[in-house]
Structure 1
Amino acid sequence: MLSRLMAATARHRRLILSCELLVALAVVVLDPGRHFFPWAIAVVLVGLALAIAAVNRRQAALVLESEPPAFGTPVNPGPVFLFGAYVPIMGSNVGTSLRNVAERDELWQLDLVVVVLCAVALGLLIRATWVGQDFQLRRDGVVHRTAVGSLVVPWEAFALDQPAYPGGKDGQVAFTYRRPELVRRRGLPRGWELRTVTGVDVWFLSRVIHHYVTHPEHRAAIGTEGEYRRLRESLELTPEPR
């Protein structure tokens, strides 16, 4: 049941996000937090529980992408649930703060700061939810995008002996390079080689990266169904259920 909920949420995440935005707007305008406090607490708790469960759900699988041809990590529905949990808190706080700013109440400057911080958090959550995919293995290398930056690593930049390995806490993968000058970074953070990847088992991901670093002859077929079957067979993994 939970797996079906996760899959459906990931598949329809943009529609769900649009509905959540409408609810957030209604909460800002009507400020029901004062009158429906138990309801708001229940939404927050359920949303956080589902977000935590989604973040910890990691699959030894990739998805096929066509433009450009790539293997991507499965979409993680965690940001959708997190945004749902954020709606009552954000809506009530922003609604109250906006009224205080409009009426120039005491410490209205602090309320303005609250509105700005909520807007920043809202923007990051919307981007993380709408984009969905955050990690791709392409024919020319690896691309990792986050809400605040991106990392592009050509295959030639990776170290040959251990290009990637699970590191730090669960869900993180570390990269090692032999030609770091080929790596391209944008945004923040810059220079960090420990990446947090959602939706995929990092041991599996590390093995896939090592495979393509050491077998360049197979890179041209990345993104095709036949290459994905061959990859799983070479890694001695069972076929994915259809």
Structure 2
Amino acid sequence: MRTRARLLIAATVLVAVSWLVAGGWRFDRGGTVRTFVVGVALPIVVLFGTIAVMLWTRRATFPAVFDVRDGAFVAPPAHLQVAAQTSAGIALPLFLLGSQLRDFTDGEDSVLTGLAVLIVVLVTFLLLLSVPWVLASFLDLSRVELRPDGLGLFDVNSGYVVPWEAVAVGPTPRVSRWTPNRIRLSRPGLVRRRGVARLWRKVESAPVPQLVAVNPVFLADAVNHYLLHPEHRAAIGTPAEYERLRQALFAAYDR
């Protein structure tokens, strides 16, 4: 999955650069067909392609399996889904950038040139914001860790390290694909925050990352299991405890 994610990002960058250099803004606006393709058809394709990618990433299914490593049960990143959203986020701004470059380079109309400059600046800012997403397509930035001392909830731009004793209510086992699951906090002062999460002055809950390659119901049930059974937390991260956890959860599913 990680290899396909890298190929997807590389292909997106290659096509986007080709668009900018070769065809995005070097076309004759007097040609009706070319004007329609570049000005109407391609924007529609890019827009609906972006929507399709978002729908696909929300509907993807994953197994009820954790990675047992580094003394934790880890829900690893869904690299391909992260890469797909990243590609959509890169393609749309670069398409807009390519569409405005001709107005910027021609300089015949001061109003159009000024608007093009503004759009170029905004699009460049959006592309800079996408850098963490590109990194997340290659690295384990988005993940959930269950550890003996608590939870690690790491997303692309933010992270929460939540001790078990700071949790008031665990994640909802059944939640809409479009609604981020959240963990309610009783002692937010114990929670360590990273990245964008540090910007919020008051934190009453921590979001569970959605772009992880583990079934969300299984993940929520595992967290709630250790909230209800603290006597088993010390063994988290061991193969024996992982087998016991799977047996306990799957026995509950069979009832």
Instruction: Provide the residue aligned with 1:138 in structure 2.
Output: 147
Instruction: Provide the residue aligned with 1:125 in structure 2.
Output: 133
Question: For residues 152 and 87 of structure 1, do their structure 2 counterparts lie closer, same or farther at Cα, with a shift above 3 Å needed?
Answer: closer
Does residue 185 in structure 1 map to residue 187 in structure 2? Answer: no
Q: Which shows bigger deviation, 147-156 or 230-239?
A: 230-239
Query: TM-score by structure 2 length?
Result: 0.70
Question: For residues 15 and 60 of structure 1, do their structure 2 counterparts lie closer, same or farther at Cα, with a shift above 3 Å needed?
Answer: closer
Rounded Cα–Cα distance in structure 2 between residues aligned with 1:108 and 1:92: 13
Q: Which shows bigger deviation, 21-30 or 97-106?
A: 97-106
Does residue 106 in structure 1 map to residue 118 in structure 2? Answer: no
- Cα contact 2:188–2:204 (8 A) shared by 1: no
2:219 to 205, 210, 220: 205
Query: TM-score by structure 1 length?
Result: 0.73
Aligned length: 229
- Cα contact 1:165–1:206 (8 A) shared by 2: yes
Instruction: Provide the residue aligned with 1:17 in structure 2.
Output: 9
Instruction: Provide the residue aligned with 2:162 in structure 1.
Output: 153
1:30 to 22, 26, 37: 22
Rounded Cα–Cα distance in structure 1 between residues aligned with 2:152 and 2:106: 48
How far the C-alpha of 1:26 sits from its partner, in A, is 2.0
Q: Which amino acid aligns with 2:124?
A: V
Instruction: Provide the residue aligned with 1:172 in structure 2.
Output: 180
Does residue 195 in structure 1 map to residue 198 in structure 2? Answer: no
RMSD: 3.5
3-state SS in 2 of match to 1:71: strand
1:70 to 65, 70, 73: 73
Instruction: Provide the residue aligned with 1:235 in structure 2.
Output: 249
Q: Which shows bigger deviation, 206-215 or 187-196?
A: 187-196
Does residue 163 in structure 1 map to residue 166 in structure 2? Answer: no
- Cα contact 1:166–1:172 (8 A) shared by 2: no
How far the C-alpha of 1:99 sits from its partner, in A, is 5.2
- Cα contact 1:51–1:79 (8 A) shared by 2: no
Rounded Cα–Cα distance in structure 2 between residues aligned with 1:231 and 1:59: 18
Q: Which amino acid aligns with 1:146?
A: D
3-state SS in 2 of match to 1:172: coil
- Cα contact 2:173–2:216 (8 A) shared by 1: yes
Rounded Cα–Cα distance in structure 2 between residues aligned with 1:90 and 1:99: 15
- Cα contact 1:157–1:179 (8 A) shared by 2: yes
Instruction: Provide the residue aligned with 2:84 in structure 1.
Output: 81
Question: For residues 46 and 234 of structure 1, do their structure 2 counterparts lie closer, same or farther at Cα, with a shift above 3 Å needed?
Answer: same
Rounded Cα–Cα distance in structure 1 between residues aligned with 2:43 and 2:237: 43
How far the C-alpha of 1:141 sits from its partner, in A, is 1.6
Question: For residues 215 and 25 of structure 1, do their structure 2 counterparts lie closer, same or farther at Cα, with a shift above 3 Å needed?
Answer: same
Tell me which stretches of 4 or more aligned residues in structure 1 moved more than 6 Å.
none
The share of aligned pairs that are identical, in percent, is 27
- Cα contact 1:94–1:118 (8 A) shared by 2: no
How far the C-alpha of 1:74 sits from its partner, in A, is 5.3
Q: Which shows bigger deviation, 150-159 or 115-124?
A: 115-124
Instruction: Provide the residue aligned with 2:230 in structure 1.
Output: 216
Question: For residues 15 and 220 of structure 1, do their structure 2 counterparts lie closer, same or farther at Cα, with a shift above 3 Å needed?
Answer: farther
3-state SS in 2 of match to 1:48: helix
Question: For residues 144 and 28 of structure 1, do their structure 2 counterparts lie closer, same or farther at Cα, with a shift above 3 Å needed?
Answer: farther
Bigger-Rg structure (1/2): 2
Gapped regions of structure 2 (runs ≥ 5): 28-33, 108-112
Q: Which amino acid aligns with 1:231?
A: L
